Structure 1
Amino acid sequence: MADFPRNLPITSPPIRLAVCVSGGGLSLQNLIDLIRAGKLNATISQVIASRPRIGAIARAEAAQIPVVLATRGKSQSLATFSASVFDPIRQAKADLVVLAGFLSLVEIPPDYTGRVINIHPSLIPAFCGKGFHGRSVHQAVIEAGAKVSGCTVHFADMTYDTGPIILQQTVPVLNDDTPERLAARVFEAECQALPEAIALYASGRLQVEGRRVRILDPI
């Protein structure tokens, strides 16, 4: 695993985000709304979509955020695809990359090591890894008889859902839960955890030591 550097404090101007999406864009919309309301000191300088005609693209366009489509062809190498993701991010001078329901694996280039975070709808290391996304995660949680679930924000590395954990929030799994009901409850937790992690990063309060992320006291 790569060594993640301690983040430098970012106070002014607001932290510049690039958000990578593959679906409806609910997490993207949450960030847009928080920024507009003055509750998150950030701007979204670029959105990268891995699929055409998804709801997230419409949300970005409605907010007048530049969108780049980066789809991986069957014969395209991972390195070439990853470059198509990170080249526009680099051009947009993003400080932090947010994988918000981004379903494609990418190689993180050296200049963005420790600058990419992911939000996952379970308590990693449970119910995560390749194939665990969307409804399948919540279905697996219910079938396993778990009493709690939640979400995890973590630094991304070169594999699915294995990077150092920044924040986790728990929610109960109720006796009559369906995957859809549990997903709605987990998403409410995501709407709190993701912007909190971004704010901690922006203020330089995250220190990574091996697989552990320490949240430092405010400076």
Structure 2
Amino acid sequence: MHRIAIFASGSGSNAENLIHYFKNSKTVTVSKVYCNKRDAGVFDRCKRLEVPCDFFTKEDLNNSERFIKTLAKDYDYIVLAGFLLKIPEELISAFPNKIINIHPALLPKYGGKGMYGMHVHKAVKANRETETGITIHYVNEQYDEGAIIFQAKTQLKNTDSADDIAQKIHTLEYAHFPKVVEEVVLKNG
């Protein structure tokens, strides 16, 4: 059984989607969710779904050898689902090509520090893009620059608002993210 830890910072809709997807899997399990914001909605989702969700600080992430050792001992993969902190090199080294992120744009466009959620959708709208999409990628030392695993596109109309774009992105995320994570885990072991 491959064990996944999810890192989240927000409402947890992608975390919930992953938990549901792997709930009855014989090969992959979501063992725990970690969150760096005490008031994030993901805590309520995890409680309802009966999946443990632990709070951790930026300092835990960046300065705790013990935290990284615990993660390396207890999990095979880390999946970022709306997690906004930069992953430190020590954690990347402990999980080479085993930290997976989803980004709400077609990287390399609209990536980097500060480009997340509605910031991305507003930029896509402001630039009058005719298409956008999602990128699932490995995490490296730079924001949104890891090797791309998968991309899916959606067409945009001039009348689409940033909220409309967000909804189209959520549809792609829910349809593809769990399947791609499963493919990576089963292929790479």
* TM-score normalised by structure 1 residue count: 0.78
Q: How does 1:43-62 map to 2 (within 5 A)?
A: 43-62=29-48
Is the 8 Å Cα contact of residues 70 and 85 (structure 1) preserved in structure 2?
no
Partner of 1:116: 99
Q: Which residue of 2 aligns with 1:63?
A: 49
* Cα displacement (A) at 1:39: 7.0
Query: In the alignment, which residue of structure 1 is the partner of 2:71?
Result: 89
Q: How many Å separate the matches in 1 of 2:113 and 2:75? A: 27
Give yes or no for the alignment of 1:16 onto 2:10.
Answer: no
CA 109–21 in structure 1, closer or farther in 2 if over 3 Å, else same: same
Verify: 1:28 aligned to 2:15, yes or no.
yes
State whether residues 48 and 85 of structure 1, in contact with CA within 8 Å, keep that contact through their aligned partners in structure 2: no
| CA deviation profile, 1:144-202 (whole Å, cap 9, x unmatched) | 11100000000001110000000000011121111111101111111122112212112
- 1:197 is aligned to 2:169: no
More helix by share: 2
SS of residue in 2 equivalent to 1:16:
strand
Matched, 1:182 2:158: no
Would the alpha carbon gap of residues 78 and 32 (structure 1) be closer, same or farther in structure 2, given more than 3 Å must change?
Answer: closer
Q: Tell me if structure 1 keeps the 8 A contact 2:133–2:154.
A: yes
Structure 1 alignment gaps of length 5 or more: 1-12, 207-219
In 1: Cα distance, 2:12 partner to 2:148 partner: 23
Kindly indicate whether the alpha-carbon contact (under 8 Å) linking 1:40 and 1:199 is maintained by their aligned counterparts in 2.
no
Q: 2:92–2:141: 8 Å Cα contact kept in structure 1?
A: no
3-state SS of paired residue (2:187):
coil
Question: Are the aligned partners of 2:31 and 2:52 in contact in 1 as well (CA < 8 Å)?
Answer: yes
1:133 Cα offset (Å): 0.6
Structure 2: 5+ residue stretches without partners: none
Instruction: Give 1:29 deviation, angstroms.
Output: 0.9
Distance across 2 between alignment mates of 1:61 and 1:85: 22
Identity %: 28
Number of aligned residues = 187
User: In the alignment, residue 12 of structure 2 is paired with which amino acid?
Assistant: G
Deviations 1:53-77 (A, max 9, x none): 21111111222222221122xxx49
- Alpha-carbon deviation of 1:109? 4.2
Describe the superposition over 1:101-128 as per-residue Cα deviations: whole angstroms up to 9, x where unpaired: 0000121242311110000000000001
Q: Which residue of 1 aligns with 2:62?
A: 79
Which residue, out of 98, 104, 109, partners 2:85? Answer: 104
Name the counterpart of 1:5. none
Separation of aligned partners in 2, 1:69 and 1:190? 24
How far has the Cα of 1:89 moved from its partner?
2.5
Distance in 1, Cα, partners of 2:60 & 2:36: 15
CA RMSD of the aligned region, Å?
2.2
